[in-house]
Structure 1
Amino acid sequence: MLFCPGAATSRWLGFGAHLLAGAGARLVSVDRPGLGASDPDPGRTLTGFAADVAHLVAARELTGVRGVGFSQGAPFLLACAASGILDAAAVVAGTDELAHPSFAGSLIPDVAAMVEAVRADPVAAGHAFAAWGDAEGFWQRVLAMAGEADRAVYTEPAFAEAYRRALAEAFAQGPGGYARDTVLASARWPFDLADVRIPVDLWYGGADTSPVHSPDLGATLAARLPRSHRHVVPAAGGALLWTHAEPILETLLAR
């Protein structure tokens, strides 16, 4: 299973480790360029990331690959799905295509301003996102955006240690990787979701308060994917990748 982690984190933050052996699964997490141990590539694109992953899959002779994309990892996962690399995919609390016309008027003002800034001048927007970027500042923003359900997960000592380690790793080369990811996720996506022919499970928590995941908890995204299955867990927050890892994995492996 290919794992595309969320914003400003690295391969160190996985999920469901205690379930993998019993499921006969291996989780492969990839640092995107400029994050963690991956070299920067300032002009990279979503489809370019999919091409990189295709090389990885070929070099490692991987077959039957499924994918999981969390939060800002979702558009990178869907780019891989559209390119035909994956057999099935799960998007968990995934960032939707916020620049899609269907969301005009439904974004909160701060998110709408971010999307418009990327549309008007992606280079300047990237510089602005980089100015936000360090591990401690990002951690504080995560906690500020989190609802009660998510804050309980994020502040659990063992999880907080793992999350903060992943943040420190992601920002080790500076904020450029995070900034480029945010530009790519906030712009129009350069692939057609109609080309995603594999089954895609969309998982959202009804108590997710993040303004940058999906205004409608994946309903619009589900309608644009030919073989989508949408799951909304009412009491869960955006951290359902960790609170509901078992059904997410079971469903994905059964596809």
Structure 2
Amino acid sequence: MSGAPVIAFGQQPCGFFPRRFLVAKVWTARRLQKEMGGEIVFFYHDADHDPRETQTTLRHRTTDEAQTLNFTFENKLQRKYTPLYAKRIPADWQANTARQLGAFVSAEAIEAFKAVHATNVADFCLEMYRAMGMLEGVRVVRSSDPAVRTAACAIDDHYADVPCEGETVRARCVAGALKLHRGGSAYQTLPPCEYGPAQISPARDSRLGWMQSVIGCTHYIAGAGEQAYLRTADAPDITFVARDEIDRSSEAYVDLPV
């Protein structure tokens, strides 16, 4: 590719305080930008639906004991199948969580947390990351954005966001049918319905090409997990860079600014 570098990294919302591996990706991107210039792009995969992605592991400031917190959800269907951008935050969750944070984070971090105004999980995480300074100078591309979805290349391996029992669910397309994974080898097949590109998001193995068709990056920063499954041959125009190392990578980063 010609022109200025486009340095990208991707991640689902990964805790209301970001996991340390995401912060390491940001630091790696900033280091590369200092070396070669160009733009940093964060591919924010907020169309994922797994509630485990937003588990937030904090360390007690006195005992150093780890404790994991998460969002609460309005119902079981929403918790398990609704995309993170559509998982609604119950009215009392933020205040209840803020009361627990004093043992784990600074007063400044608590005030930043309390100042976030968002009605869904993905927006809350993103606004918290912004408040921490993590996204300064970074362009965010969201996988839930209808404009992004309609601009992306067509893919056969995908999910579709469709209505189900009063909620939006992220259903996997399998042999032309939409299915919800019930666990193990069990699936629930949804009634047939029409859907279009604005409702489609990629599966794990189709994500790289789908993302690249929108952002056209020259360099992609890959985490340890991504390095194990990314099909780099699908994107020969990208230079792949391993993210910088960081200790306790799956725990939350709570220092301001990032």
Task: Specify the TM-score bucket, using the shorter chain as the normaliser.
Answer: 0.3 to 0.5
- Which structure has the greater CA radius of gyration? 2
**TM-score normalised to structure 1 length:** 0.36
**TM-score normalised to structure 2 length:** 0.36
Decide which structure has greater strand share.
2
Decide which structure has greater helix share.
1
